[in-house]
Amino acid sequence: MSITALVAPQLPLLRRYARALSGSQTSGDSYVLAMLEALVADPSVLDRSVEPRLAIYKLFSRIWNSMPLNGRAEAIGEVTPAERHIEAITPLPRQAFLLTAVEGFDSLQAADILAVTPAEVSMLIDVAGREIGAQVSSTVLVIEDEPIIAMDLEALVAGLGHRVVGNARTHTEAVAMAKAERPGLVLADIRLADGSSGLAAVNEILETFEVPVIFITAYPESLLTGQRPEPTFLIAKPFREDTVKAVVSQALFFGDSATLRQRRTA
């Protein structure tokens, strides 16, 4: 199988992972590009003894850990909340946390990707949880039209020590609640009860104030198009509890660099 055939199917989720690590689409995509450039220069750097997704993440982690964090973003003068606070969360624990809780790798696979032992992965995940939890505490607006899912999300968020300020089921409710409460985080579905768009609601909210946004949707392909802008934080339904917890912590850590802003059209 060609390198292109092996790599191309892995890129959408790898780009999501890279954005979550770096806190911005620009920085994350820069690291993915660096990995692709290394692969073109020397195809033998890809481990063909393991399944393609694992091989791509192994190579990406080698690139990520060999380069200064967000180096390319700094070079063009981009300053994000992540760059101001990144030293508070050590890089290797954050990678282990994301690989297992968000990307769905088991501890053995994460150990292989990071070139550490499974016991070390467990330790890194514990460290990440403590470090991230110590950094964030906020108010949260849930935009979700299915009552049971909304209740599950509220319970998960409250269990992390955050306060839910409301649950909106429509575009109109979402915008009104956001303007009244000014939450520190928004969890948003894409398709809402009255047929309106959670994406449109989020972009109207972002015209008023900056807030990190996590999209939780059964239609992730509608957002992972490879075209800008894209969300930094995206969870597919049905979701896992540990995935939501991990991404909530990451989104709050990275702050307003995690938001998605649509270009306004005439």
- The structure tokens listed for 151 are 């209740």
Between 68-72, 139-143, 223-227, the lowest mean confidence (pLDDT) is in 68-72
pLDDT given for residue 185 in this prediction: 93
The band of 27, judged by pLDDT with boundaries at 50, 70 and 90, is confident
Neighbouring C-alpha atoms within 13 Å toward the C-beta of 113: 28
Both 79 and 96 in one domain: the answer is: no
% of the chain beyond a pLDDT of 70: 79
Distance CA 14, CA 182 (A): 32
Domain encompassing residue 177: 137-258
pLDDT given for residue 68 in this prediction: 62
> Residue for token digits 């768009």?
197
Query: Beta-strand (E) ranges in the chain?
Result: 139-143, 163-168, 185-188, 213-217, 233-236
Both 142 and 254 in one domain: the answer is: yes
pLDDT given for residue 168 in this prediction: 96
Question: Is the dihedral angle over the CA atoms 99, 100, 102, 105 positive or is it negative?
Answer: positive
Both 170 and 225 in one domain: the answer is: yes
Residue 50 · residue 10 · CB < 8 Å: no
Which CATH number fits the domain that encloses residue 142? 3.40.50.2300
For the chain, the straight-line distance linking the first and the last C-alpha, in angstroms and rounded, comes to: 45
Provide the number of structural domains found in the chain.
3
pLDDT given for residue 175 in this prediction: 96
What mean pLDDT do residues 90-118 have? 89
Both 229 and 161 in one domain: the answer is: yes
* DSSP state, residue 262: P
Both 37 and 118 in one domain: the answer is: no
Both 237 and 198 in one domain: the answer is: yes
Q: What is the mean pLDDT of the chain?
A: 81
Both 104 and 117 in one domain: the answer is: yes
> Residue for token digits 């059964």?
218
pLDDT given for residue 231 in this prediction: 65
Both 161 and 122 in one domain: the answer is: no
pLDDT given for residue 225 in this prediction: 55
- Provide the phi-psi class of 77: left if phi over 0, else alpha when psi is between -120 and 50, else beta: left
Both 164 and 113 in one domain: the answer is: no
Q: Can you tell me whether residue 191 is helix, strand or coil?
A: strand
Nearest to 78 by CA among 36, 32, 37, 28: 28
pLDDT given for residue 252 in this prediction: 80
Which CATH number fits the domain that encloses residue 124? 1.20.140.160
